[in-house]
């Protein structure tokens, strides 16, 4: 996989800066869904008990998916409908009882220091809207059935983070030391006794990602709950969720990538035929262009007085969305959809919609996004051993019958 170019963050403006942002989260959240289907297979774990159970699929205590269509097509995903993915058991809930006391170390800079969340809050803050998506979102669509959670589209959401820009922290600590090629975040999970230290959650991304990264303490205007990495999370816009390290206790600039297992032998685009994941395989970093339809869902669709309204969401990693096209015949022909709702910046998803008149019959609906750099959502998934980065518009298509 070729990484897309990193670029500057266009959200540095008063609309999305500071605690008094003009956007009201309550007005941007998704409409309560009429599409949640069935009941959750398992009970929500205690640390995620606040979730809307009818909107979620509980795969395990550490993997909870949003049902397709349950969150609607809102510009922002409400926290109680946002998916959960933890690589290790979360720390004790005690750490979010006094969030301002949490300490993060800043290393690999000219003046290393430790800062509490309280001290971070005294600095200039910034808000950034971004798609948070698990690297394995869409894994359940791979015919090869890779090991891991069989996510469909629900290991993703669009949320607003509030925190300190990492570039400001770097400036305040004298700048990055020469030769530091990576930004490395270390999570605060407690490893069980006897477990190798390389099992820690620690991820490295190219150091240039610091230009857009944020140390965040709020999600959608509220303190980050334990389920989503509170009291402090490293947020790396445009990159898959694993790179936005939860419970971050150390942010370091390093000459080499972390030696943790989650960096070296996990989250790599290893060809399916390979026996083992290799550290030389491309790391799962930036997200490629991707979209899917949330309305209608697969099954029988009844036309309203004005026909059928096709709706969905689209995003393109570090790049802004330029356009979305929709097909009703499985990709044989395409029509331009309209971008709807607010534009929250290049890291956020865009809502799209297309009203159509369809006679009774069977249809295969698909969507395809193009970003401002001309990158187009792929037709077919990139086959890989672990089922990462499935952005295939064909896999995400829905078959409907118009009555």
What is the C-alpha to C-alpha distance for residues 105 and 365, in angstroms, rounded to an integer?
49
Distance CA 36, CA 152 (A): 14
Average pLDDT over the chain, rounded to whole? 90
pLDDT profile of the chain (403 residues), mean per 10 = 36 31 34 36 91 97 96 92 96 96 98 98 97 98 95 98 98 98 97 92 98 98 98 98 98 98 95 84 97 94 84 98 98 98 97 95 97 98 96 98 91
CATH of the domain at 78: 3.90.420.10
240 and 352 belong to one structural domain: no
pLDDT of residue 245: 98
184 and 258 within one domain? yes
Same domain, 207 and 308: no
Query: How many whole angstroms separate alpha carbon 151 and alpha carbon 21?
Result: 34
Gap between the Cα atoms of 350 and 323, Å rounded: 9
Count of other CB atoms within 10 angstroms of residue 202: 22
Rg (CA), the chain: 21
What does the pLDDT read at residue 41? 55
Q: Do residues 229 and 375 share a domain? A: no
How many other CB atoms are found less than 10 A from the CB of residue 334? 15
pTM as predicted: 0.89
220: left (phi over 0), alpha (psi -120 to 50) or beta: left
pLDDT of residue 306: 76
* One domain, residues 133 and 171: yes
Which long-range CB contacts under 8 A does 114-122 form with residues at least 24 apart?
115/169, 117/217, 117/231, 117/232, 120/163, 120/164, 120/215, 120/217, 120/232, 121/217
Residue pair 186/207 in contact (Cβ under 8 Å)? The answer is no
Asked whether residue 97 is domain-assigned, the answer is yes
Residue with tokens 């001290």: 119
Number of Cβ within 10 Å of residue 34's Cβ equals: 9
Let me know the angle formed at the C-alpha of 62 by 102 and 230, rounded to the nearest 5 degrees: 20
**Does residue 44 lie in a domain region?**
yes
| Structural domain includes residue 314 | yes
Any idea how long the chain is? Answer: 403
Indicate whether 68 and 197 sit together in one domain.
yes
Number of domains in the chain: 2
Residue 151: which H helix or E strand, with range?
Answer: none
DSSP-based three-state secondary structure for 118:
helix
In a domain, 272, yes or no: no
217 lies in the same domain as 326:
no
The answer for residues whose C-beta is within 8 angstroms of residue 14's C-beta and 6 or more apart is 22
Q: Cα 228 from chain centroid?
A: 11
Domain range holding 321? 290-402
Tell me, what's the pLDDT at 273? 80
Asked if residue 125 and residue 22 are part of one domain, the reply reads yes
pLDDT of 111-126, one tens digit each? Answer: 999 999 999 999 999 9
- φ/ψ (deg, to 5) at 146: -60, 155
Q: Cis link prior to 310 (omega < 30° from 0)?
A: no
Name, in order, each residue with C-beta under 8 angstroms of 381's C-beta and a sequence gap of 6 or more: 138, 141, 142, 390, 391, 392, 395
Sheet holding 63-66: strands in order across?
56-60, 63-66, 84-85
Q: Does some domain include residue 195?
A: yes
- In terms of DSSP bridges, do strands 222-223 and 103-107 run parallel, antiparallel, or are they unpaired? unpaired
Tell whether 256 is covered by a domain. Answer: yes
**Beta strand spans in 137-191 (E):** 156-165, 182-186
By the 8 A CB rule, do 324 and 290 touch?
no
DSSP per residue, 40-67: -SSPPPGGGTTS-GGGEEEEETTEEEEP
Dihedral over Cα of 388, 8, 163, 189: its sign? positive
What's the rounded Cα separation, in Å, for the pair 115 and 169?
A: 10
Q: How far apart are CA 18 and CA 51, in angstroms?
A: 27
Tell me if residue 362 falls in helix, strand or coil: strand
Residue 310, domain CATH: 2.60.40.650
209 domain residue, yes or no: yes
Q: What stretches of 40-155 show up as alpha helix (H) in DSSP?
A: 117-121
Strand partners of residue 364: 329, 399
Asked if 303 and 337 sit in the same domain, the reply is: yes
Q: What is the pLDDT of residue 72?
A: 83
Q: Both 247 and 297 in a single domain?
A: no
Cα 4 to Cα 318: distance, rounded to the nearest angstrom: 7
């Amino acid at each position: 996989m070729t990484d897309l170019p990193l670029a500057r963050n266009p959200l540095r403006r008063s609309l999305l800066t500071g605690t008094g942002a003009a956007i009201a989260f309550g007005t941007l959240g998704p409409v309560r869904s009429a599409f949640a289907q069935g009941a959750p297979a398992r009970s929500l774990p205690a640390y995620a008990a606040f979730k809307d159970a009818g909107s979620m699929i509980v795969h395990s205590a550490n993997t909870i998916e949003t049902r397709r269509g349950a969150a609607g097509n809102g510009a922002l995903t409400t926290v109680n409908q946002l998916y959960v993915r933890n690589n290790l058991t979360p720390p004790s809930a005690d750490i979010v009882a006094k969030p301002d006391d949490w300490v993060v170390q800043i290393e690999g800079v000219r003046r290393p220091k430790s800062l509490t969340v309280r001290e971070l809050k005294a600095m200039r803050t910034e808000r950034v809207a971004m798609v948070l998506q698990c690297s394995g979102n869409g894994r359940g669509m791979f015919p090869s059935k890779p090991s891991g959670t069989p996510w469909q589209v629900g290991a993703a959401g669009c949320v607003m983070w509030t925190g300190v820009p990492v570039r400001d922290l770097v400036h305040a600590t004298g700048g990055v030391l020469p030769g530091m090629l990576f930004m490395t975040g270390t999570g605060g999970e407690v490893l069980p006794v006897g477990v190798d230290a390389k099992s820690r959650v620690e991820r490295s991304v190219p150091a240039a990602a610091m230009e857009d990264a944020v140390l965040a303490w709020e999600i959608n205007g509220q303190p980050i709950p334990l389920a989503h990495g509170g009291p402090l999370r490293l947020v790396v816009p445009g990159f898959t969720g694993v790179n936005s390290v939860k419970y971050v206790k150390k942010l370091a600039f390093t000459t080499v990538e972390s030696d943790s297992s989650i960096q070296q032998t996990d989250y790599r685009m290893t060809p399916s035929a390979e026996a083992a994941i290799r550290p030389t395989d491309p790391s799962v970093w930036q997200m490629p262009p991707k979209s899917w339809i949330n309305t209608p869902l697969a099954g029988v669709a009844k036309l309203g007085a004005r026909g059928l309204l096709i709706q969905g969401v689209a995003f393109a990693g570090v790049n802004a969305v330029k356009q979305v096209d929709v097909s009703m015949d499985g990709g044989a022909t395409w029509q331009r959809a309209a971008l709807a709702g607010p534009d929250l910046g290049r890291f956020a998803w865009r809502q799209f919609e297309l009203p159509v008149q369809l006679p009774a019959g069977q249809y295969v609906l698909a969507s395809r996004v193009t970003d401002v750099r001309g990158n187009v959502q792929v037709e077919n998934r990139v086959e890989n051993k672990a089922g990462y980065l499935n952005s295939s518009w064909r896999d995400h298509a829905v078959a409907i019958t118009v009555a």
